[in-house]
Amino acid sequence: MSFCLKLLDVYFQIMSITFPEFQLESHTQCSYDHLQIHDGPSASSYMLGKYCGNTPPNNGQPINSTHHQLYFWFLSDTSVASDGFTVQWTSADPG
């Protein structure tokens, strides 16, 4: 198993993220390779979603934070190789 954790932090702003490329191992419950996105600074923050397969998170539509931090948790079981994903993000003042 491999884990990768990343915290995006844009002080005093909120974020909008999209995934122009997304290819992970498919599974109906995303039990193997998957990406979890949390609205806040840690895995205990509200989970916006758990994603796998070839459909981009939120069906390619932007995912918006309600805080200045987004926490990404990527898990791979290393048994199936895919191309992975690309994240694009923008930030703006809240409200």
User: What average pLDDT does the segment 23-35 reach?
Assistant: 94
Per-residue confidence (pLDDT) for residue 52, from 0 to 100: 97
Quickly count helices (H) and strands (E) in the chain.
0, 7
User: What average pLDDT does the segment 78-95 reach?
Assistant: 90
Mean per-residue pLDDT over the chain, rounded: 92
SS3 42: coil
- Per-residue CA distances from 27 to 53, 86, 92 (Å): 7, 20, 35
Residue 6: count other Cβ atoms within 10 Å of its Cβ: 10
Question: Which pLDDT tens digit goes with each residue over 1-23?
Answer: 677 788 888 888 999 999 999 99
Per-residue confidence (pLDDT) for residue 6, from 0 to 100: 85
